[in-house]
């Protein structure tokens, strides 16, 4: 097992010059350069996280390591995010060689020595903050299946900033995928994408966590063998469902934030489901939700009053019915992630001709997910790819930002004596005649 202590000690010595005088936001004590007790405690915690992951890993994705920055080659900038920047690179010279998974506790673990990875750098992260620790810990806890994998932690020697090294997905986020791959998308692929996303969210919720920043920019995709595989990423705001965040500041991409959260309520698993409904809207429309609106207080107010994105005419009715349940204004009316996955799995089985049960449902699903509807959907995606909508400056698209509307929303809603409507008319979308008895 690699010696971690030397790396950590070397970093402790050169951190002082990069910090400024202030009062520690964690312990409240005044410090001059940096808060030694808190920073050293964080160093020790991440040291233990790395060391404990190695002998206690039951399979390779439960193992993280310290990655020397010099082993990350061909580093290229990819994008800015709400909390930092993302780069791609080739991870070379990994000393962890491959061994059969069953021998993981007896010998070294297999990993590719020339692997394409992503580097997530945190803004001004010259010390290990509680936010950085939280993301590493959450990634390790959820490091399997349909969640984006973390390989380890590194530090840029030029600016002293810490970063995490994670799995690279070659097709980018949902919005990028729809734009560049619209010509190959079909009902089979879109339902398969939804299966992957629901499985990832199921992994999060089954650990009794909620994501808290669930939007299309945090769903990453790769294509293998003609199939698109989707994973959930960015677990910096993720936390256990029974643990309320000390920091009450709300961050997110406005259309994906549930109305009860916008009004100042606590995040719940149902709030993640609301975000899933907005993902469904973006996939079927090919556009960001409320793309014609500024992402501001006025939109937040309208969302709290029941407004939702329009549903295209070509949308299969089972798809629309489930989507509308996900963005129901009453959290308890939304489906659980397990119910969500079960319904989408039924569509998947029928569309992929894997199931011959439920004859009535099979006929209705095949009728709704028709080739004619698919052609109209694909034509719309192609049109948007060549003539994209002009974005509003305030949207910032897929960058999570602070949303401090709760007090203003409460005042406005109380002043206007607005009551949340629960009937379908509040969505301003077309009505669907299909019997819900077959679908819900």
pLDDT digits (tens, 9 = 90+) for 176-203: 999 888 999 999 999 999 999 999 999 9
432/335 same-domain check: yes
Instruction: Give the CA dihedral 315, 321, 323, 328, nearest 10 degrees.
Output: 140
Q: What is the pLDDT of residues 388-417, one digit of tens each?
A: 766 655 555 556 666 777 777 877 877 665
pLDDT in the model for residue 224: 84
One domain, residues 281 and 239: yes
Is 233 a residue whose pLDDT tops 80?
Answer: yes
Asked whether residue 155 falls in the same domain as residue 260, the answer is no
Q: What is the DSSP string of 163-208?
A: EEEEE--TT-BHHHHHHHHTTT--HHHHHHHHHHHHHHHHHHHHTT
Do the domain assignments include residue 34?
Answer: no
Q: Are residues 95 and 226 in the same domain?
A: no
Model confidence pTM above 0.85: no
- Could you tell me if 44 and 182 lie in one domain? no
Q: Which of 167, 202, 230 delimits the end of a domain?
A: 167
Number of domains in the chain: 2
Cα distance between the two ends of the chain: 52
- For 32, the token pair is 């001059």
49-59, pLDDT tens digit by residue? 677 666 555 55
Tell me whether residue 15 is in a domain: no
CA–CA distance, 72 with 53 (Å, rounded to integer): 22
Of 128, 151, 167, the residue that ends a domain is 167
Q: Are 157 and 194 found together in one domain?
A: no
- Quick one: 376 and 407 in the same domain? yes
Helices (H) and strands (E) in the chain, counts: 13, 14
Residue 107 lies in a domain: yes
Higher pLDDT, 336 or 122: 336
Task: Indicate if 155 and 267 belong to the same structural domain.
Answer: no
Judgement on whether residues 195 and 334 belong to the same structural domain of the protein: yes
| Structural domain span for residue 78 | 40-167
User: Does residue 330 sit in the same domain as residue 201?
Assistant: yes
What CATH number does the domain containing 309 carry?
A: 1.10.510.10
Both 151 and 181 in a single domain?
no
Please tell me the distance from the alpha carbon of residue 186 to that of residue 371, in angstroms, as a whole number: 9
pLDDT score of 436:
34
CATH number of 72's domain:
3.30.200.20
Residues 145 and 195 both lie in one domain: no
Neighbours of 419 (CB within 10 A): 9
Domain end marker among 146, 167, 188: 167
Task: Mean pLDDT check: name the lowest of 120-134, 142-156, 197-211.
Answer: 120-134
Locate tokens 């997910």: which residue?
A: 369
Average pLDDT over residues 351-377: 84
With respect to residue 31, please indicate whether it lies within any of the assigned structural domains.
no
Residue with tokens 């939700």: 289
């Amino acid at each position: 097992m690699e010696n971690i202590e030397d790396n950590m000690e070397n970093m402790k010595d050169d951190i002082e010059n990069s910090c400024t005088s202030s009062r520690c936001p964690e312990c409240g004590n005044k410090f001059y350069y940096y808060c030694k007790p808190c920073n050293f405690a964080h160093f020790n915690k991440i040291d233990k996280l790395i060391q404990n992951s190695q002998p206690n890993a039951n399979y390779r994705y439960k193992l993280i390591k310290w990655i020397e920055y010099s082993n990350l080659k061909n580093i290229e900038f990819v994008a800015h995010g709400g909390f930092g920047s993302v780069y791609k690179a080739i991870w070379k010279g990994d000393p962890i060689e491959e061994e059969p998974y069953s021998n993981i506790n007896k010998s070294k673990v297999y990993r590719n020595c020339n692997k394409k990875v992503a580097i997530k750098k945190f803004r001004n992260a010259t010390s290990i903050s509680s936010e950085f620790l939280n993301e590493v810990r959450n990634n390790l806890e959820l490091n399997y299946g349909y969640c984006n994998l973390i390989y380890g932690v590194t530090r840029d020697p030029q600016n002293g900033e810490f970063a995490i090294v994670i799995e690279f997905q070659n097709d980018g986020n949902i919005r990028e995928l729809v734009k560049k791959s619209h010509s190959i998308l079909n009902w089979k692929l879109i339902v398969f994408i939804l299966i992957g996303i629901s499985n990832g969210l199921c992994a999060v919720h089954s650990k009794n966590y909620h994501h808290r920043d669930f939007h299309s920019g945090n769903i990453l995709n790769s294509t293998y063998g003609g199939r698109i595989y989707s994973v959930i990423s960015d677990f910096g705001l993720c936390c256990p469902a029974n643990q309320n965040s000390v920091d009450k500041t709300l961050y997110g991409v406005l259309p994906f934030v549930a109305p009860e959260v916008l009004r100042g309520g606590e995040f719940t698993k149902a709030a993640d489901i609301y975000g899933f409904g907005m993902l469904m809207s973006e996939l079927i429309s090919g556009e960001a939700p409320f793309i014609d609106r500024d992402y501001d207080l006025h939109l937040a107010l309208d969302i709290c009053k029941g407004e939702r994105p329009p549903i295209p005419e070509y949308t299969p009715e089972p798809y629309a019915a489930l989507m509308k349940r996900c963005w129901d204004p009453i959290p308890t009316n939304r489906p659980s992630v397990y119910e969500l996955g079960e319904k989408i799995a039924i569509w998947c089985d029928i569309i992929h001709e894997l199931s011959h049960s439920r004859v009535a449902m099979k006929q209705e699903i095949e009728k709704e997910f028709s080739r004619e509807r698919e052609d109209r959907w694909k034509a719309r995606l192609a049109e948007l790819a060549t003539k994209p909508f002009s974005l509003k400056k305030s949207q910032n698209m897929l960058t999570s930002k602070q949303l401090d509307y709760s007090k203003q929303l409460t005042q406005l809603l109380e002043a206007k004596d607005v009551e949340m409507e629960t009937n379908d008319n509040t969505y301003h979308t077309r009505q669907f005649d299909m019997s819900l008895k077959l679908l819900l």
